[in-house]
Amino acid sequence: MPIQFSPDYTITAKIAKSLMRIEAVRERVLHLPVTPTVLASLRETARLYTTHYSTMIEGNRLAPEQIESILKHEGHFPGRQRDEREVKGYYAALAKLEQWAATGTQVSEKIVQTLHGIVMSDGRTRVKPTPYRDGQNVIRDATTGAIVYMPPEANDVPSLMRAMLKWVHDAQDIPCPIVAGIAHYQFATIHPYYDGNGRTARLLTTLILHLGGYDLKGLYSLEEYYARNLGAYYEAISIGESHNYYMGRADADITEWVEYFVEGMAVAFENVLKRMAEAESQGSADQSTLLRQLDPRQRRALSLFQQSEVVTSKQIGELFGFKPRTSAQICKDWVESGFLEVVDPSNRARKYKLSEPYEELIAQ
C-alpha cells in the first residue's frame, strides 16, 4: 500500500514573517492603479523571466533576448532545438494556466496531466493529458552519476497524486502560499513523469497561487528567485534522511522547505513593487480615478484595445477562456455599465470599442 500524503511542518516565526510581507505587498499591488501599457509591459516581462529562469534551472542555454526572439517567431538557433522547444512549451503552459485561473478552473488530475502535456509540447495548448510514468525513474548527480533520489514506484504514483490533490482542495484553513509550497514539494517528491517534473511542479504552484488570489496581476516570477541561487533551491527541496522515497522522504519534516518557499514569494512580490516604481518613474503616469472604476477583468481587457480599436466578444472570450454565451453576456454587461460601446450591432459579428472616458487610458 502506498504511503498517504500527510505533510509535516511547523509554522515558525520565519514563516509567519514572510507571510506578513506577502500580504503587505499583495494589498498594495491590488489597489495600486497602473496604466494598461505599463501593466502589459510588466506582465510580459514577468512571463519572459519566468520562462527563462524555469527552463534555465533544467539546463536550458538560451539567453532572455534569444527567448524573446523565439517567442516572437523572429529567431532560430541551430543546435538548440530542444532548448527552443522547452521555451515554447513553458510559455504556452503559462498562457493556459492564466486562462484556467481567470475562469476559476480548479486543479485536478486532468489539469495537471494537461499542463505537463503542454510543457512537453512545442508550444501547442491543444494536447492530450499525459499519463503518469509506467516505470521507475531516478534522479542522478549530474557530475558523478550517483543516485541522489529514488521516487516512489510507478504503481503508487496515481494514488499519491490523488491524495496530494485532495489535500490541496481540503486545505482551506491553511494559508494559500503554504499550500502552494507544499504542493510544489510533494509533486517533486512523487516525480510522476520521466521528464518535465520540475517545470510542471513550478507551474502547478503558480496555478494554485493564482486560484487562491495571489496572482499579483501576473507580474511576479518565483522562478527568478530559485534560479539566482540554485544551490539553495536544491538544498531546500532535498529533504529526508534517505535518497529513497520509502525510507525518509515520504515522512520528512518539510518546515525548512516551507520557510524557503514563502521567503521566495515575499522577495518576488517585493520585486514587483520595485519594477512598478521604476516603470512609473520613466514617465508613465497612472490614471488612478479611471482605473479604480474598473474590475480586474476590465483592466485586463484593456490590453486587447491596445492592439485594436474594436474587438469582438469572441476575442474577449479567448482572453479569459470563456464560452461564447458567457463572452456575449459579459460584453452586454460592460455596455450597460458604460465601459464599452457597440460599433457593429449585428448579432453575427458584433463589435465593441471602449467608451470615450476609457479611451484616455489607451491613448496614454
Coil, strand or helix at 129: coil
**All 3 cell numbers of residue 317?**
472570450
Q: Is residue 230 a contact partner of residue 57, using CB atoms and an 8 Å limit?
A: yes
The residue extents of the domains of the chain are 13-279, 288-363
Which three cell numbers, joined as nine digits, stand for 263?
A: 521567503
Contact 39, 217 (CB under 8 A): yes
Phi, psi values for residue 236, rounded to 5°: -70, -40
In sequence order, the β-bridge partners of residue 341 are 353
Angle subtended at Cα 65 by Cα 59 and Cα 68, rounded to the nearest 5 degrees = 90
Question: Does the pLDDT at position 2 exceed 70?
Answer: no
Tell me the β-bridge partners of 351: 312, 344
Instruction: Return the CATH architecture of domain 288-363.
Output: Orthogonal Bundle (1.10)
Q: Nearest 5°: phi and psi at 241? A: -75, -20
Average pLDDT for 213-236: 88
Q: Which CATH number fits domain 13-279: 3.20.20.80, 2.40.10.10, 1.10.3290.10, 3.30.930.10?
A: 1.10.3290.10
Cell of 171: 486545505
Asked if 293 contacts 338 with a C-beta cutoff of 8 angstroms, the reply is no
pLDDT of residue 115: 97
Is the confidence at residue 137, as pLDDT, over 70? yes
pLDDT digits (tens, 9 = 90+) for 70-128: 887 777 788 888 999 999 999 999 999 988 998 899 999 999 999 999 999 988 888 99
Q: What are phi and psi of 131, to 5 degrees?
A: -65, 160
For residue 226, which of 191, 184, 192 has the smallest C-alpha distance?
Answer: 184
Dig out the grid coordinates for 217 from the structure.
496581476
Q: Give the confidence band of 280 by pLDDT, cuts at 50, 70, 90.
A: low
Cut 0.85: pTM above it? no
DSSP single-letter state for residue 125: S
Do 13-279 and 288-363 have matching folds?
no
Q: Is the pLDDT of residue 278 over 80?
A: no
Q: What is the mean pLDDT of residues 226-255?
A: 82
More confident residue, 294 or 9: 9
* 225-252 burial: b if 16+ Cβ within 10 Å, else e: bbbeeeeebeebbebbeebebeeebbeb
pLDDT at position 348 over 70: no
Share of the chain above pLDDT 70, in %: 90
Residue 180 has pLDDT above 60, yes or no: yes
Of 292, 295, 310, nearest to 359 by C-alpha is 310
Q: Where does the chain have alpha helices with state H? A: 13-30, 36-57, 64-71, 81-102, 109-119, 157-170, 176-190, 197-211, 222-227, 230-237, 255-281, 288-292, 296-307, 313-320, 324-336, 356-363
User: pLDDT class for 241, splitting at 50, 70, 90?
Assistant: low
Tell which wins on pLDDT, 78 or 18: 18
DSSP for 306-333 reads: HH-SSEEHHHHHHHHT--HHHHHHHHHH
* Per-residue pLDDT at 1 exceeds 70: no
